[in-house]
Amino acid sequence: MKNYYTTALLFVAVLMFQVNALAQKEHGSKASDNSKTVELSFYKGTDDPITAETLDYFVELKNNSGRPQVFKIEGEPISCDDASIESSDVKFEILDKNGAQLKLIKASENQTVQFIVRTTKLEMNKTSWSCVQILAKSDSSSKQSFASILIKQLNPGASNFK
């Protein structure tokens, strides 16, 4: 009987670890050209609750090409296309790891470079989705290499999600 409780406790501990580890997964989607010379991925930077007004997302750009490249980084708020809850505006900034505004990234061959997308929800009392699309385009290649991600975040507003 003692082994049963130990096994159950171990199972619960492993399950809780997986839930916490998976909580840092991406919330959104990715797109890229077929060459895969550049990839973008992201994860939420902290364990801030979804009720936080400002959230940081750490974005990783991976240059899979065999040569150094410069990438132009752009972003735009877009509609989330979720009919059940309306979209709302979100302010965002694209920053380097030191907090300075970022427009270009230089990446050596096969290098991964990290930057931050900081979002600020503008309508805290309204239940809504906010979506920001981030695009990385090669500025130093004759081919148009690109990758994009969509960061989708829920603002629970005055609902009982809090």
Where residue 74 sits, what CATH number does that domain have? 2.60.40.10
The per-residue pLDDT for 18 is 40
The per-residue pLDDT for 25 is 41
The per-residue pLDDT for 111 is 96
The per-residue pLDDT for 14 is 40
Strand order in 28-32's β-sheet? 28-32, 146-155, 128-138, 69-78, 104-107
For residue 83, being part of any structural domain is answered with yes
Strand order in 112-121's β-sheet? 38-44, 54-63, 112-121, 90-95
For residue 50, being part of any structural domain is answered with yes
For residue 160, being part of any structural domain is answered with no
For residue 142, being part of any structural domain is answered with yes
The per-residue pLDDT for 5 is 57
For residue 93, being part of any structural domain is answered with yes
pLDDT in tens, the chain (162 residues): 566 556 555 544 444 434 333 333 445 556 555 568 899 999 987 777 778 889 999 999 999 988 999 999 999 999 887 656 667 778 999 999 999 999 999 999 999 999 999 999 888 888 888 899 999 999 876 677 899 999 998 888 766 554
For the chain, how many residues are written?
A: 162
Structural domain for 122, as ranges: 26-155
Total structural domains in the chain?
1
The per-residue pLDDT for 157 is 78
- pTM attached to this predicted model: 0.74
For residue 51, being part of any structural domain is answered with yes
138 three-class SS: strand
